Structure 1
């Protein structure tokens, strides 16, 4: 089945495409209220664990390659995009939320944007409804880092969105945002929104504080199901998570990659959102080398939905090999 981009799914032919999948695919979620949008839900397995990839947004980054560094490599980036038939204009930003159910645990790995006034984002709750998961069913939430597309969905109407869930993150992430002067001096991002962003993160952390548990690099939780991996650079306390069940494992790459071509072909290419680009490069190279060597199945928060695939070494860099869709019956 050829790869279809999100705009194809969300276009006027969406209903026909969805109908063609059949009920066993469980590919289409309930409509996001008031939006006319149906987020997609992809079911798969990790050993004995059930898993779903839920799309949370339909976004394009209008700045395009202006977000990518180093700027002197933009011609190489354009050439790469052209080779694969992709425009060098606005860059797609996929937002994939991983849900895992194993035994008594139902787990979220990041929670997307949360519901708001923009119908193009905040679809997670509709996706959870489609698979029969109520907010009270979530027992654990794992945060990679505190940017809005990862953190905000954990809060709704000034309260924890998942009231029974324990909220896990690295202490370095808490310390950065709660420090007196969070340091963005190495980042290439627009500084104007930063004060408001810091205020929003602190407000959300305060709401989640009674449910928060900090975790350590290398710590394994939930009877061996989840292992924490510190992956600094994108933020100080950025974390990746490895899910193991039976003989299977899945490595959640979180924000080690924001683009399925650019962040693999040359791991030294960074995005303006990185807090510490040099550290992000070192971290990305380490994870890419290990995953390619071990043929580890991976999942990407910002990679084309449903975000499953493998990292393949393609010297001098790497290639993201998306996993073919397999419908569960």
Structure 2
């Protein structure tokens, strides 16, 4: 298995510098594939505008690489939608997409619905809380899809400095996701950032995959993509440094629980329960329990949704 991972790393791990923008633009013209970029956003007025402006300036105006830039607002209480629109993005509220189906809270829910609100042959997802954002995050992950027809799914990899504390972020990755992948899906052990929010895939693959509605979406898509198209169709690209806000320990615990449950569902789909996670905070009378549901719901492959099928026929 180690030899297989090392062989994959030598063939399917690249740097963003390996594919300059002029090469990607030529490949896009030759292949005719369209590219959509989706930013799921919840209360990100401080960062979403800069990300949108950078993508528009570098990848839509200077080099015509991105055809569609969509921000899906999942219920922000700040000026996220207004800031994103002013910077040049199309903004759609999560609940306006597939309105017959009541939305549930969660990042995966937003990404799943975005397939119905976009039209690109290639769909790239980018988190909306990134700081000091570079267009390399987008060109890096769509590059292999534009230049190599055998690649179907691409993750970004990067350094994740832990602001103000030294060391690296990605604590849920190192403490939960990476051990799970190495033990149960060792062919995926070569992914540097398996939970990273920046990745791109062919629509023809994404529409065939179920989407966990919550934080487990990245792990779920990666594992299901492996089983759907095989390891050689997966790739990763080094795009430099990723800076974003970091969560506190209890939030990380809830994320880890969702990751574990997502893996568990894929290991034993016939034994489903809705688990809960109890954590503790200090109150006036000592430590008080706080119990949270762990995301277990998943949306079906978008190809199975009637509205999506009707749109494709039209």
Do they superpose with TM above 0.5? no
Greater fraction strand: 1
Q: TM-score, normalised by structure 1?
A: 0.27
Q: TM-score, normalised by structure 2?
A: 0.28
Greater fraction helix: 2
